[in-house]
């Protein structure tokens, strides 16, 4: 039970019911870490509210007693966002998993925080609509809002920042905020400050997101996917830049270096050439697809591509993308027992070839085990570095490599994180990225919404 008094735990139970409160060590451990290498820091208690009224009452209770509050989605984050660095109450939102409202004519849906991206798309299957933002994991949609997530489709459909219309948020003191006004789901607005944008990427540090109104998209009429191997990283990334500069409306364009490709072949039983590779997908009418494919083949051939392999039927396509989504686990399988640390820099697209080529050279020189994979259509890529959690020296070398890469991205007018967030590990880089006035503004916003500093303390700032 840690630092909480028996009386406080009884008050939690009175609010949500005894079965929905746990102080068991195993449960607290399970909630004290995410998928990253950040060390487990368990909360003092875990609660599962059933509705927004309970979330509001829980927040007010914790706030009144000076107890930290840590929102928990599905725990698939990779920046230590759920680690309870000061203890406190973890609010696990997975029991609130209803799809509250579907507005097919207006391309929008309202979901509770426990709904995952796969559950939403399963629900939409026969509607002709889908929600395209796809981090590899089956994350909760409100967790995705909280981290500003994206994935393989962002080059065409945008990130969470582009696909959230409204949020219901329980503020730290228990008050309920509707960031775009209660019940609204318009496509554009010039009404006041962008409160919705403030909460996208806030990583649980400003409030608990208890419902999200999301923008849906028409399901594509036809799709085709392909893999294309290249003699060098430079050739693969030059092709990416040329495809985008030629305004080919590619839906997905993902890069895997030779080590990542090899790991995916083994882990997901693919049979791709072991070389720097692009995974691509095109969406549209049959006629539009033919044009996009032809233009892409011309560009890649011009850059010396070895081989273009098409996946036309749904089964082949999903095998390919399942392999891509499992790249994290494929990388981890290169050294069983290791933990992963993923860098996440994002640079202007024209600077991508130089930073990727340099990063591969640095990785070879570092002696670390790592793969490179990236949402290169957005200028965003990850080095997945493998680390023995029991080896402090290796841990330091991984952190030093990640910081150096972050600084290189900043020097190229980029960001230290395209989609994973700041969490615990990138707070220094955030300061370098936004500067003193930027940090001061963020701190003032945080202090105004959370004057006691109890919402997911120790993260972001």
The nearer residue to ligand FAD, 83 or 235, going by C-beta atoms, is 83
- CA end-to-end distance (rounded Å), the chain: 28
φ, ψ for residue 264 (rounded to 5)? -65, -40
CB of 336 to ligand FAD, least distance (A): 16
Rounded CA-CA distance 393/387 in Å is: 10
The nearer residue to ligand FAD, 96 or 272, going by C-beta atoms, is 96
Report helix, strand or coil for 400. Answer: helix
The nearer residue to ligand FAD, 206 or 289, going by C-beta atoms, is 206
The nearer residue to ligand FAD, 151 or 414, going by C-beta atoms, is 151
Report helix, strand or coil for 437. Answer: helix
Residue least distant from ligand FAD (Cβ): 143
CB of 315 to ligand FAD, least distance (A): 22
Q: How many helical (H) and strand (E) elements, i.e. helices and strands, does the chain have?
A: 16, 18
The nearer residue to ligand FAD, 38 or 360, going by C-beta atoms, is 38
311 DSSP β-pair partners: 225
Rounded CA-CA distance 70/54 in Å is: 15
Rounded CA-CA distance 173/200 in Å is: 19
Helix axes of 233-245 and 352-366: crossing angle, nearest 10 degrees? 160
- CA dihedral (166, 459, 325, 234) in degrees, to 10, reads 110
CB of 449 to ligand FAD, least distance (A): 12
The nearer residue to ligand FAD, 82 or 165, going by C-beta atoms, is 82
CB of 56 to ligand FAD, least distance (A): 13
φ, ψ for residue 326 (rounded to 5)? -95, 10
CB of 365 to ligand FAD, least distance (A): 27
What is the token pair recorded at 342?
A: 């993923």
CB of 302 to ligand FAD, least distance (A): 29
Residues within the interface to ligand FAD (CB under 6 A): 34-35, 70-78, 81-82, 93, 113, 135-137, 139-140, 142-144, 146-147, 149-151, 203-204, 208-209, 328, 419-420, 456, 459
């Amino acid at each position: 039970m840690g630092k909480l008094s028996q009386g406080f735990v009884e008050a939690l139970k009175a609010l949500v019911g005894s079965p929905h409160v746990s102080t068991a060590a195993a449960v607290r451990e399970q909630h004290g870490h995410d998928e990253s290498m950040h060390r487990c820091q368990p909360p003092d208690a875990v609660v599962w509210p059933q509705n927004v009224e309970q979330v509001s009452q829980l927040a007010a209770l914790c706030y009144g007693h000076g107890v930290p509050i840590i929102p928990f989605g599905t725990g698939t984050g990779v920046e230590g966002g759920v680690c309870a660095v000061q203890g406190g109450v973890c609010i696990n939102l997975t029991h609130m998993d209803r799809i509250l409202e579907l507005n097919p004519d207006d391309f929008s849906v309202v979901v509770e925080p426990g709904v995952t991206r796969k559950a939403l798309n399963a629900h939409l299957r026969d509607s002709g609509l889908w929600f395209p933002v796809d981090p590899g994991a089956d994350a909760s949609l409100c967790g995705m809002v909280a981290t500003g997530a994206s994935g393989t489709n962002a080059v065409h459909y945008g990130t969470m920042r582009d696909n959230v219309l409204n949020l219901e948020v329980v503020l730290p003191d228990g008050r309920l905020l509707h960031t775009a006004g209660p019940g609204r789901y318009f496509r554009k607005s010039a009404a006041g400050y962008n409160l919705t944008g403030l909460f996208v990427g806030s990583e649980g540090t400003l409030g608990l997101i208890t419902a999200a109104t999301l923008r849906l998209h028409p399901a594509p009429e036809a799709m085709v996917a392909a893999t294309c191997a290249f003699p060098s990283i430079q050739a693969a990334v030059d092709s990416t830049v040329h495809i985008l500069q030629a305004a080919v409306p590619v839906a997905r364009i993902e890069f895997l270096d030779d080590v990542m490709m090899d790991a995916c072949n083994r882990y997901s039983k693919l049979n791709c050439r072991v070389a720097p590779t692009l995974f691509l997908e095109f969406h549209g009418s049959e006629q539009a697809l033919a044009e996009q494919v032809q233009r892409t083949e011309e560009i890649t051939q011009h850059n010396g591509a070895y081989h273009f392999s098409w996946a036309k039927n749904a089964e082949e396509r999903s095998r390919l993308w399942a392999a891509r989504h499992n790249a994290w686990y494929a990388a981890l399988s290169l050294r069983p027992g290791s933990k992963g640390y993923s860098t996440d820099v994002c640079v202007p697209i024209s600077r991508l070839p130089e930073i990727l080529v340099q990063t591969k050279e640095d990785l070879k020189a570092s002696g670390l085990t790592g793969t490179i994979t990236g949402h290169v259509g957005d200028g965003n890529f990850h080095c997945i570095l493998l680390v023995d959690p029991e080896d402090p020296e290796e841990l330091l070398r991984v952190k030093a490599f990640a910081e150096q890469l972050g600084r290189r991205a900043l020097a190229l007018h980029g960001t230290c994180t395209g989609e994973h967030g700041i969490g615990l590990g990138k707070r220094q880089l955030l300061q370098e990225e936004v500067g003193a006035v930027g940090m001061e503004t963020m701190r003032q916003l945080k202090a105004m919404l959370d004057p006691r500093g109890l919402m997911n303390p120790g993260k972001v700032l």
